[in-house]
Amino acid sequence: MSDGEPWADTLRALRSLVAEEDVLLARKVLRNPSETVSGPLRRTLHWSVSSLHSLWDAWMHERDIMLPLGAVPAYTATDLRLASMYGLLGASAPAGWSGDHVRTTVLLERSPDGCYEIAPTSTGSTRVSIAQGDDAELRGPVGEVLDSLAGRGAEPHEVFGVSTPAVSKLALLRKVAT
């Protein structure tokens, strides 16, 4: 829709859409907080996870544009936290589909929370949560780790500096996505 219009007009329209989305998400929380939807791979997801996929996707594509230009995107702590947690959740999903869940801790350097735990739940899904401390099985720079798990840049075992069963399971998304 923005083909041919000045970039400032496009940016203004995007800012307006983001503000509108914030209002709509707040309404959604109040109206139907437990609704499920069909996700990107046709799996049933809580609507908030589906919305989070959109944020993560935009985060990744912003990096696709800015990093080759030599610009480092600035993220709020909340955006980086959500992109980190969703990136780890997405990477752990393919292994969980077969019941071979990822169970590990990941220290994401320069992330707002540092350490995250990935573990199966009692219902057979996967949970990513903030972990205490910095004694993690895996570690690496947040941007490089999330890029690698999504299929960009170095292989996960290179970014983490180790080859473990958990790394192999997290690398499955890369194989699905690329």
Q: What is the DSSP string of 69-112?
A: GTPPPP--HHHHHHHHHHHHHHHHHHHHHTT----EEEEEETSS
Q: Which residue has the tokens 């970014």?
A: 159
Q: Is the pLDDT of residue 43 over 80?
A: no
Tens digits of residue pLDDT in 8-35: 887 788 778 878 887 888 888 888 888 8
* Amino acid at position 109, single letter: E
Average pLDDT rounded to a whole number, residues 84-99: 92
What per-residue confidence (pLDDT) applies to 24?
84
More reliable by pLDDT, 146 or 5: 146
With H, G, I as helix, E, B as strand and everything else as coil, classify residue 141: strand
What per-residue confidence (pLDDT) applies to 62?
85
Q: Is the pLDDT of residue 130 over 90?
A: yes
Whole-angstrom distance, CA of residue 132 vs CA of residue 35: 31
Average pLDDT rounded to a whole number, residues 76-80: 90
The per-residue pLDDT of the chain, averaged, comes to: 88
Whole-angstrom distance, CA of residue 97 vs CA of residue 114: 27
Average pLDDT rounded to a whole number, residues 167-176: 92
Q: Are 88 and 120 in contact (CB under 8 A)?
A: no
Torsion of Cα atoms, 104 then 83 then 175 then 45, to 10°: 90
What per-residue confidence (pLDDT) applies to 52?
86
What per-residue confidence (pLDDT) applies to 40?
67
Q: Is the pLDDT of residue 136 over 70?
A: yes
Tens digits of residue pLDDT in 142-152: 999 999 999 98
Q: Where are the domains of the chain?
A: 1-32, 73-177
